[in-house]
Amino acid sequence: MRQALRIGLAGLGTVGGGVVEILDRHKDLLAARCGRPLVLAGVSARNKSRERNLPLGKVNWFDNPVKMAADPDIDVVVEAIGGEDGIARRIADAALKAGKSLVTANKAMIAHQGTRLAKLAEKNGVALRFEAAVAGGVPIIKALREGLAANRLVEVYGILNGTCNYILTQMEETERDFDEVLAEAQSLGYAEADPSFDIDGIDTAHKLAILASLAFGVEVNFAGVHIEGLRHISWEDIAYAQELGFRIKLLGITRRGALGVEQRVHPCMVEIDSPVAHVEGAFNAIVAEGDAVEHAVFEGPGAGRGPTASAVVADIVDIARGDLSPAFSVPARTLKPSVPYPMAERRGANYVRLRVVDEPGVVARVAAALRDANVSIESIIQRGQAEGDLVSMVMVTHEAREGNMIQALERIGRLKSVVEPPTMIRIVTF
């Protein structure tokens, strides 16, 4: 058996704690699969005296994780602390500069610094791995890098945030509005005290930027992702979606388009028979479309101790086996610049919900605004009550240029009989 691989682990929380447990529980299995033992040689976290209930034995404790990252006794560094900058970045830089491979679960750091870190890893002849950063236990990074390497990929899309999917599923199942379900999710620990990273689509965008780079050979460009979150989705929209044969999902979508690589995150109306329509609760699902494989679907738990640690340890196994291939499939210096995709040029159908005063002429004024912007209506639902009441008017448009759609909605929003800003949800067919 070859020499042991000595691991330095920074962070002993949900992810780091799970890594310690798997390394201990599957010591023999992992040694057999790697052809060498995996040894936890050093750990670091914020608070040394915290009771962790982990099988740490006499593992060397480092007060300073950056020093641990450069310590000659460590072969590979695992960063499980988090944050796009700060301590996580210092650990990553120290490890790679010292010629040690780096495994991280940190999507924020990879979304913001992935290209730079990949270049640094390649310059120093080591590996950068981040399977846990996207979709937790679902091995989508490996699938894109390895399993689908024979394909020219066309599109990758999916549900990348379990909290958002849990909220949408709960809204649908319990017929309640967003704020109520979010508050409950927070009290149950399914959503953070500050949920904005999840519900505003930022977490999904971090993961999407990583997938876009892997799939299409472009630099990781988080700033180039169009991002819309979930806050404006109501139970009423979910009910109308059902009636129209759709479900609402927050998707990350990246595809190769005529104007470059599209990267967008927003709520979508997906057809009821789409592979992502029935993904429930906190699960993640990703669909990759390649020219040879056609559609491949990957689904599983997107977060949590076991699933995330499973992905981290799989990365360590690859490194122990000697896989030093480029983090983003191709050498980082060959990644192409990624330009933000102009959303105004998107073409697609849309769902629109208006809150209007039920009075004569309102439908005609709304229809005129759409017609003048070259948007045609496929169907309208308006359940009138008594004249003068507030009612919802729901429309499905035919495929239209998004810039025209926005222009029409701005005009509609200014109509006197429209009493709330219009809600638009893109209808996405795959």
Is position 132 an interface residue for ligand NAP (rule: CB under 6 A)?
yes
* Single-letter amino acid, residue 391: V
Query: Among 1, 3, 28, 47, which residue sits at the site for ligand NAP (rule: CB under 6 A)?
Result: 47
Neighbours of 141 (CB within 10 A): 26
Could you tell me what percentage of the chain is helix, strand and coil, using 3-state DSSP and rounding each to the nearest 5? 40, 25, 35
Query: Among 82, 195, 229, 252, which residue sits at the site for ligand NAP (rule: CB under 6 A)?
Result: 82
Q: Which of residues 301-320 bind ligand NAP (CB under 6 A)?
A: 303-304, 308
Q: How far is 214 from 153, CA to CA, in rounded Å? A: 10
Is position 49 an interface residue for ligand NAP (rule: CB under 6 A)?
no
**The token pair that represents 133 in the structure block:** 């950063």
Residue among 50 and 336 whose Cβ is closer to ligand NAP: 50
Minimum CB distance to ligand NAP, residue 116 (Å): 17
Residue among 6 and 206 whose Cβ is closer to ligand NAP: 206
Q: What are phi and psi of 226, to 5 degrees?
A: -80, 125
Query: Among 6, 89, 100, 107, which residue sits at the site for ligand NAP (rule: CB under 6 A)?
Result: 107
Span near ligand NAP by CB under 6 A; candidates 79-87, 216-224, 256-264, 281-289: 79-87
Which residue, 49, 59, 38, 45, is CA-closest to 12?
45
100, 107, 119, 207: the catalytic one is 207
Query: Among 80, 159, 270, 276, which residue sits at the site for ligand NAP (rule: CB under 6 A)?
Result: 80
Query: Would residue 416 show up in a list of annotated catalytic residues for this protein?
Result: no
Residue closest to ligand NAP when measured from CB atoms: 13
Minimum CB distance to ligand NAP, residue 134 (Å): 8
Is position 60 an interface residue for ligand NAP (rule: CB under 6 A)?
no
Is position 20 an interface residue for ligand NAP (rule: CB under 6 A)?
no
Is position 45 an interface residue for ligand NAP (rule: CB under 6 A)?
yes
List the strands of the sheet with 76-79, edge to edge.
Answer: 60-61, 38-44, 5-10, 76-79, 101-104, 128-129
Contact assessment for residue 335 and residue 218, using Cβ atoms and an 8 Å cutoff: yes
Residue among 202 and 395 whose Cβ is closer to ligand NAP: 202
Full DSSP string of 54-74: ---TTPEE-S-HHHHHH-TT-
CA distances to 20, 44, 58, 65, 391 from 41, rounded to whole Å, are 11, 11, 9, 13, 65
Beta strand pairing status for 153-159 and 283-290?
antiparallel
Q: How far is 29 from 93, CA to CA, in rounded Å? A: 31
Site size toward ligand NAP, by CB under 6 A? 25
Buried b (16+ CB within 10 A) or exposed e, 363-377: beebbebbeebebeb
What residues contact 123, with CB distance under 8 A and at least 6 apart?
A: none
Minimum CB distance to ligand NAP, residue 18 (Å): 8
Span near ligand NAP by CB under 6 A; candidates 40-48, 315-323, 366-374, 401-409: 40-48
Neighbours of 292 (CB within 10 A): 9
Is position 14 an interface residue for ligand NAP (rule: CB under 6 A)?
yes
Minimum CB distance to ligand NAP, residue 164 (Å): 14
Catalytic machinery residues = 207
Which residues of the chain form contacts with ligand NAP (CB under 6 A)?
Answer: 11-16, 44-47, 50, 65, 80-82, 87, 105-107, 132-133, 136, 303-304, 308
